[in-house]
Each structure stands twice: as structure tokens, then as C-alpha cells.
Structure 1
Amino acid sequence: MTDHQPSHTPRSLIVSFYGAYGRGAAGRPAGPLPVAALIRLLGAVGVDAPSVRSAVSRLKRRGLLTSGRTADGAAGYGLSDAARQLLDDGDRRILGRPATRPGRGWLLAVFSVPEEERHKRHLLRSRLSRLGFGTAAPGVWIAPAHVHEETRHTLDRLGLAPYVDLFHGRHLGFEPTAEAVARWWDLDALARRHHAFLEAHEPVLRRWARRRPTPPEEAYRDYLLALDSWRRLPYADPGLPAAVLPTGWPGVRSARVFTALHRRLRDAGETFVAGVLDRGVG
């Protein structure tokens, strides 16, 4: 787990773009987006054309993008069904930012993978970690109960469901839950990630708070960069109960900053996306 603000890679920015604007982009029916338009749209956040093409090819090999033709017959790329499910799940966590309510309890993932399939054990651990699970004991991972549906979708999609049992329960002791949570998650590292997000994007929010009107291309650029930084955080920090977090937890502030940027910039950015798609090659 890194403690600094991660760099924006072409592949990550493309995923963020499709999440924000690529599912029926700018009020249009969902479908392939022209390659030339993707190059123009990613160029606005500093990604050159060869990097866009390379990243799109990798995402296609991973089964997240599919090639096709636009209504005008141009070559383009759209989301696969698996990618659409992934992004729909992400909306609930990234945009909704659910916090665990008292009494909701915990989700336990207990797994056992045969030795001859140990590569799946590594994949399973990696995916549970990405979903925000902490490690309660060897082979026993824990997360707030509200991640249940997304966990089921992820395990089914990756063919890992046969190796895992999921349980919903309450923590009954013997340590106070706050002490247990500090053992299951690296809260210091999570706090540093929130502070890094704030350092990068809180000044952006302050600048926009003083500006009227909202230039679409600038709004698009700042929003996509903020989204690309933010969308990792609700997975590393899955919305742990406030009662078990340190006083002054920075996740509360970073969530407010992203939400304010989303409300201020997202729709103006869509205006820029629509203009690029209307122009075709841009």
C-alpha cells in the first residue's frame, strides 16, 4: 500500500473516463466510442496518442473493452458486460461512499484453495484486498457488511466463488472492536493516502469555489484527475464505522472534497465530452 498520491497512468485514466462518461456518454446511447475521440479526450489530461492506443489494447486483452463500430462506421471501443458490472458496482462505493451504520455488522470471507491451485489463492487475496477487506486471521478476511453484493459479483466474475464462504456477523470480543480494526487494517497508511488526496485536490476545489462560470474543458480535466485519484480510496478504506476510527479521521474530509468536486465539475465536463464527440475526430 503506497502512502503517496499515485500517478495517473493511461490505463487508469481510461477506466476513469469510461466510468464517468463512457456509459452512454454525454446523453448518448451506450456504444463504442471513436478511437480518435478517445485520443482527444485523454489528450486533455496529458496522455499522448500512442499511450492511449497501447492502454486500450491492454484493456481489450483483459476483457474490459470490446472493439466495434460507431454509428458513423468509425473504429471504436465500448465496455464489455463485465466492465459495465464492475463500474456499476464502483458507482455505489465511489460516488455513494457508504459508511457502515451501527448494527450492520461485518462480512467474513473464509477461503480454502487447494495447493495445486495456489495461483488462485494469490488472486483471491489480491482481490479481497482491493475490495477493502482486512485480514482477521490466515484464510479469514473481514470487511463492513455493505460490501457483500460487490464481493459476490467480483468472486463470481473471476470464478473464485467455489473457494469462498461468506458470513455476516457481529464482533463479540474479546478485544474492543476499535483495537481489533487497527489490527485488521493499516489505519496509518490509509490516513496518509487520504492526506495525499487532500494535498493534491483540496486546492483545486478552493480555486473552483472562487470561479464562475465553469469552462468545460478545464472542468473535465480537473474532474477526471480527481476521480482517478479518488476511486482507489473507497476500496482501500471501505467505509469503516466512525466509532472504530481515530478522532479526526481524514477520510471524512477527503470524501467531502471529492463530493464537492463531483457536484461542481462533472456535468460541465460532460459538456466538453459532448463537444468532442460531436466534432468526431476533434
Structure 2
Amino acid sequence: MAEQHTPRSLIVSLYGAYGRTPDNAPMPVAELIRLLAVLGVDAPSVRSSVSRLKRRGLLVPQRTADGAAGYALSEDARQLLDDGDRRIYAREEPRPEDGWVLAVFSVPEAERHKRHLLRSRLARLGFGTAAPGVWIAPAALYEETRHTLQRLRLDPYVDLFRGEHLGFSATAEAAARWWDLAAIAKQHEEFLDRHEPVLHRWETAPGSSEEAYRDYLFALDSWRRLPYADPGLPEALLPAGWPGGRAASVFAALHARLRDKGAEFVQPFTAGGRPSRA
């Protein structure tokens, strides 16, 4: 298992890809363990990661229809995954005229731990730093930012604004100060190095539903971090040869080819059965 695929992250990716149902049915613990075993995660790691997700309020213990122990998504977790979908699967091209959202915050010294939480959460949402206490992101991130700050009860410390950049430096020069674009480009290149060969393999020699499930979960788990590291700047503000578009195309192709085929493997587990190895 690749180093970046932690058990906790894979569980979140699994629920995001295959664990959301209209009735929010719980996923049986025993089947969750079996599904993670296919990805190289042992049972103790699954149980400890599920416990941490439960403590964070993302998973809720529930019995399945046949009385087995299981876990369903909390309302916060469903909102988190729904917000994530707009990032992970979005294909809309950002435009310079869409403008920006600014987050301006002030936290009392007695609550400095919340200041650290605010900074780290804004960074994870894709905000860049325009000035101390002033963070900036494309305006399209407003709704998710509002949901996130409210969920973490950080909204009393923040004011959000929409606006446009009026100077004095060129916006492309300013964006290069607000974000570490070289580091973001490197993450895209690492994704391509890891998963573009997987796409080529499936294009020439399609595999089984189990292989589709495994390859898709690893690709999703790698990709879903990138739209958060990369704020989604308009092309005019990006360096020449930006790899983000190619990385997005590779993930979109893997999603189209593997997600539903992988669901054929997952469905008997989540229905309480055992899949055939035929």
C-alpha cells in the first residue's frame, strides 16, 4: 500500500465512493474490514481508524437490518462529502471575472488554538495568504468555506467578503505570492506518475471488478486531496505547462472507467453477502 494511503483516509474514500445511500444505511463492520483488506489494510487498523472517525463525529454506530454492528455517516459527514463532490468531480473552467472570496479573521489571544485551527482549515480548503489575517480563494469556494467554518464553530471569528483584485501588481504575480504554485504542480505530477500508467493499463487490458475497485479507491484517495491543495485558478493566472488539467483528465477517465465496475465488487459486501471470486 502506497505511503499516502492511510487507513482512515481510505475509509473516508470508501464511504464517499460507495457508502452513501438515500436511507443512509450503515455499512457492516465485518464487511468494511473485508473491503479494506483488499486494499492492504489489516483489521486492527480498520477498527482503530473507525474509532477515531467516530470520535470526530463523522461515523455513527448503528445496527444493520439483520442486526449486525455497522457504521453510518453522520449529517456532518454527509455534508462534508457532498461539499467534496463539487471539488473532486468538478470540471468547470474557472474564469478571472468570477472574482475572489476573502476570509478576514481575528481570534483573541486567549483562544490562540482556534487561530491555528482556522489557518490550517483555510489552507486545507485551498486558501492562499494575501496578508496576515487575510486569506483569499476563488469565489467558487464560498459555499464550502461557509459550511466548513460553521461546522467547526469558527464562524464567529471570521468575516467573508467577495471582491475583485484591482492592483497594484498584476493578478498573476499576486497569485504566485498567495500560493506555492510549484509545490502544487509537483503534487499533480506525482498523481500523474502514479495513476496515468493505471489508466493506460485499463485502456489496453481491462481487469476484474475487484481490480477496478482497488485501482479506483487508490486513485480517488490520491486525487481527492489535490482539489483542496489546488484552489482552481483560471488558466491565465497559472504558469506555462501547468499539469493540473492533465491530472484532472486522468482522474475523470479513471472515474468513468472504474467507479461503476468497482461497485459490482462492493455491492455484495454492503448488502451483507460475500462476493463470488469467479
Relative to the length of structure 2, the TM-score reads: 0.96
Q: 2:209 aligned with 1:219, yes or no?
A: no
Task: Supply the distance in 2 between the matched residues of 1:281 and 1:39 (Cα, whole angstroms).
Answer: 12
In the other structure, the counterpart of 1:16 is: 13
In the other structure, the counterpart of 1:259 is: 252
Q: 1:58 aligns with which of 49, 52, 57?
A: 52
Q: 1:181 aligns with which of 164, 175, 186?
A: 175
Q: 1:100 aligns with which of 65, 84, 94?
A: 94
Task: Supply the distance in 1 between the matched residues of 2:118 and 2:272 (Cα, whole angstroms).
Answer: 44
Structure 2 letter corresponding to 1:38: L
For residue 6 of structure 1, report the CA deviation from its aligned partner.
5.8
Residues 205, 261 of structure 1: 8 Å contact kept:
yes
Structure 1 letter corresponding to 2:133: G
Residues 6, 229 of structure 1: 8 Å contact kept:
no
Identity percentage of aligned residues: 72
Alignment deviations for residues 194-233 of structure 1 (CA, whole Å, 9 cap, x no partner): 0000000000000001124x51100000000000000000
RMSD, aligned CA? 1.3
Q: 2:202 aligned with 1:208, yes or no?
A: yes
Task: Supply the distance in 2 between the matched residues of 1:17 and 1:97 (Cα, whole angstroms).
Answer: 22
Structure 2 letter corresponding to 1:228: D
Residues 36, 280 of structure 1: 8 Å contact kept:
no
Structure 2 residues without counterparts, runs of 5 or longer: none
> Which has the bigger relative contact order, CA under 8 A and spacing at least 6?
1
In the other structure, the counterpart of 1:276 is: 269
In the other structure, the counterpart of 1:148 is: 142
Residues 36, 281 of structure 1: 8 Å contact kept:
no
Q: 2:239 aligns with which of 236, 243, 246?
A: 246
Q: 2:237 aligned with 1:237, yes or no?
A: no
Q: Secondary structure at the match of 1:91?
A: helix
> Which structure 1 residue ranges, 4+ long, deviate > 4 Å from structure 2?
none
Q: Relative to structure 2, which stretch is displaced further, 270-279 or 164-173?
A: 270-279
Structure 2 letter corresponding to 1:8: H
Q: 1:34 aligns with which of 9, 28, 39?
A: 28
In the other structure, the counterpart of 2:129 is: 135
Task: Supply the distance in 1 between the matched residues of 2:225 and 2:45 (Cα, whole angstroms).
Answer: 22
Q: Secondary structure at the match of 1:47?
A: coil
Q: Secondary structure at the match of 1:113?
A: coil
Alignment deviations for residues 66-105 of structure 1 (CA, whole Å, 9 cap, x no partner): 0010001100001000000000000001111444223100
Residues 32, 70 of structure 1: 8 Å contact kept:
yes
Alignment deviations for residues 137-195 of structure 1 (CA, whole Å, 9 cap, x no partner): 00000000000000000000000111101110010001001100000000010011100
In the other structure, the counterpart of 2:40 is: 46
Task: Supply the distance in 1 between the matched residues of 2:185 and 2:93 (Cα, whole angstroms).
Answer: 16
Structure 2 letter corresponding to 1:91: D
For residue 29 of structure 1, report the CA deviation from its aligned partner.
3.9
Q: Secondary structure at the match of 1:248?
A: coil
Residues 60, 71 of structure 2: 8 Å contact kept:
yes
Residues 94, 234 of structure 2: 8 Å contact kept:
yes
Structure 1 residues without counterparts, runs of 5 or longer: none
CA change 1:129–1:78 in 2 (3 A) is: same
Q: Relative to structure 2, which stretch is displaced further, 96-105 or 252-261?
A: 96-105
Structure 1 letter corresponding to 2:231: P
For residue 281 of structure 1, report the CA deviation from its aligned partner.
5.9
Structure 1 letter corresponding to 2:189: H
CA change 1:198–1:223 in 2 (3 A) is: same
Structure 1 letter corresponding to 2:262: G
Residues 18, 263 of structure 2: 8 Å contact kept:
yes
Q: 2:63 aligns with which of 69, 78, 102?
A: 69
Relative to the length of structure 1, the TM-score reads: 0.94
Structure 2 letter corresponding to 1:23: R
